[in-house]
Amino acid sequence: MALAGCSAGGPVGAPEAVPPVRASGDEVRLTILHLNDVYEITPVEGGKAGGLARVGGLLRQLRAENPNTIAVLAGDYLSPSALGTARVDGERLAGRQMVAVLNAMGLDVAALGNHEFDVSEDAFRQRMIESEFTVISGNARAARGFASFEGVDEHTVLTVGPDNIRVGVVSTVLPSTVKDYVQYGDVMEELAADVRETEGKSEVLIGLTHLSFADDVRAAAGIPALDLVLGGHEHENIRAYRGTDATPILKADANARTVYVHEVRLNRASGEMTVESTLVPITERTPEDPAVAAEVARWVDAAYAGFREQGFEPDRIVVQLGEPLDGREGTIRTRPSLLGTTIADGFRAVSGAEAAVFNGGSVRIDDVLTPGPFSEYDAIRVMPFGGDVVTVEMPGRLLARLLDQGQTNAGTGGYLQTSGITGASGAWLVNGQPVDPARTYTIASNDFLVSGREAGLDWFSVEGNDEITQTGVFGDVRQAFIAELKKLYGDG
């Protein structure tokens, strides 16, 4: 495979100028719109970036210019989503709004990402049935019998456009979300097996993966039949070339801040292929597809009505963030962060507790909040499942045990973000003073954590442990977070 090169520029909101669809009698041109890790159907960053109606507008333009056009999504679209937590007719949306909008947009293929399995089995299976696009995964299967889920193919071969271009698409997903209804096969073995199944049927073969960059490199270098590796998971755009054929590895930015547009030219007589990839920002200047915009508005209206019943006004700007707040899982679940500390500070302030702790897994945004307007909806995005701030009294001996387990839980949702606590195992400090095993401490937390349902913390339960006593309830965790942001940055 020969590469024509890549371009990162071009007009904002549109790919660089493209020639007519056919270049010669033997040559055909395939256009691929590629996005990944899309949690919001609406724009982000105060409306400045992203938005699936805008992506739909770009896709409509690309299809008008080249009927040989497909749109693919490299995993993570059902969850985590603030809208997905809204209750409509008594039931959480759980990705229903995303599938409906992707159907309206005209998506062709989606790969399963690890976050698809955040939702319940019933919700997951229903979303697969609702999908009008093809969903694939070569290694994620139903735990019972290790068979593919209904509505999910192991791989697919599309026949695209008037030129009938045969496009094979294979996929695997990293096995990071553990649920009792899903089982994972080996990411490389299954990917290679699906390539063997499809390469003889395909003129262009795409790895539409949801893997770490390191695994994408392994795929590109170890499976030469792949023409392109179009990935997700990292949330930041990546372009690299690996393997003897310099196979392109490309990922766009999360929440459709950017998409990739890949122009593949194939000479059917010689078999020569060239690829040119353009990273396209999706901005306020990107025209919307009216039909997709109407579908987005329908679901936003329904979800916002549910949020208003909970006392939120989603559109209200509460602060102007002065710095980035990193809510990515790789940060919030592994180390202290400004976002985590700010939330914990809010718990402490609203309750008057000596210190505060909460599980990093309650932050579900898996994204970076950029400087600029921050709305009540953004607060819901950060902690979509809500809950109350509570205080408990507990002996220092158990507080030290709690903090030790939080360190053990690093890399999982049970990692603890804190306020007023420093030090390390065997030398914990509360407000600069060593933890006294015999003293009673008043600690603020979220009601989920004190329920005993976190990994390794089944003993940390106000219902099941007589040494832990709940002493107060101080309202929604998101309201405490908003109040702390206002202290830091002023009113919006």
Q: What is the pLDDT of residue 101?
A: 99
Q: What is the pLDDT of residue 24?
A: 54
Per-residue pLDDT tens over the stretch 359-378: 999 998 888 899 999 999 99
Kindly state whether residues 370 and 461 are assigned to the same domain.
Answer: yes
Query: Are the CB atoms for 240 and 219 separated by under 8 Å?
Result: no
Average pLDDT on 463-479 reads 97
What's the one-letter identity of residue 463?
E
Nearest-CA neighbor of 58 among 258, 206, 239?
258
pTM over 0.75: yes
Output the DSSP codes for 454-471: STT-TT-BTTT-TT-EEE
Residue 182 within any structural domain of the chain: yes
Residue 183 within any structural domain of the chain: yes
Residue 8 within any structural domain of the chain: no
Q: What is the pLDDT of residue 446?
A: 98
Kindly state whether residues 275 and 334 are assigned to the same domain.
Answer: no
Residue 4 within any structural domain of the chain: no
How many domains in the chain? 2
Residue 210 within any structural domain of the chain: yes
Kindly state whether residues 245 and 329 are assigned to the same domain.
Answer: no
> CATH code at 226?
3.60.21.10
Q: What are residue 354's phi and psi, to 5 degrees?
A: -70, -35
Kindly state whether residues 319 and 384 are assigned to the same domain.
Answer: yes
> Environment class of residue 142 by beta-carbon count within 10 Å: exposed (0-12), middle (13-18) or buried (19+)?
middle
CA–CA dist 49, 29 (Å, integer): 29
CA–CA dist 396, 439 (Å, integer): 5
Kindly state whether residues 41 and 173 are assigned to the same domain.
Answer: yes
Residues paired with 266 in a beta bridge: 28, 273
Kindly state whether residues 208 and 338 are assigned to the same domain.
Answer: no
Place of tokens 């994620």: 140
Kindly state whether residues 457 and 347 are assigned to the same domain.
Answer: yes
Residue 16 within any structural domain of the chain: no
Q: How confident is the model at residue 14 (pLDDT cuts 50, 70, 90)?
A: very low
Query: Are the CB atoms for 474 and 351 separated by under 8 Å?
Result: yes
Average pLDDT on 280-297 reads 99
Asked whether the predicted pLDDT for residue 462 surpasses 60, the reply is yes
Asked whether the predicted pLDDT for residue 213 surpasses 50, the reply is yes
Q: How confident is the model at residue 134 (pLDDT cuts 50, 70, 90)?
A: very high
CA–CA dist 92, 11 (Å, integer): 39
Q: How confident is the model at residue 39 (pLDDT cuts 50, 70, 90)?
A: very high
Residue 318 within any structural domain of the chain: yes
Q: What is the pLDDT of residue 1?
A: 46
Output the DSSP codes for 361-380: GG----SEEPSEEEEHHHHH
> Environment class of residue 396 by beta-carbon count within 10 Å: exposed (0-12), middle (13-18) or buried (19+)?
middle
Domain assignment of residue 347, given as a range? 312-489
Average pLDDT on 6-19 reads 39
Per-residue pLDDT tens over the stretch 409-436: 999 899 999 999 999 999 999 999 999 9
Asked whether the predicted pLDDT for residue 17 surpasses 50, the reply is no
Quote the radius of gyration of the chain (alpha carbons, Å): 24
Kindly state whether residues 173 and 31 are assigned to the same domain.
Answer: yes
Query: Are the CB atoms for 421 and 355 separated by under 8 Å?
Result: yes
Kindly state whether residues 74 and 119 are assigned to the same domain.
Answer: yes
> CATH code at 456?
3.90.780.10
Output the DSSP codes for 293-304: HHHHHHHHHHHH
Terminal alpha carbon distance of the chain: 53
**Which DSSP letter does residue 119 get?**
S
Q: How confident is the model at residue 175 (pLDDT cuts 50, 70, 90)?
A: very high
The mean-pLDDT minimum among 68-72, 138-142, 233-237, 282-286 falls in 233-237
Nearest-CA neighbor of 108 among 64, 59, 171?
59
Residue 404 within any structural domain of the chain: yes
Q: How confident is the model at residue 45 (pLDDT cuts 50, 70, 90)?
A: confident
Query: Are the CB atoms for 77 and 102 separated by under 8 Å?
Result: yes
Residue 162: is the preceding peptide bond cis (ω within 30°)? no
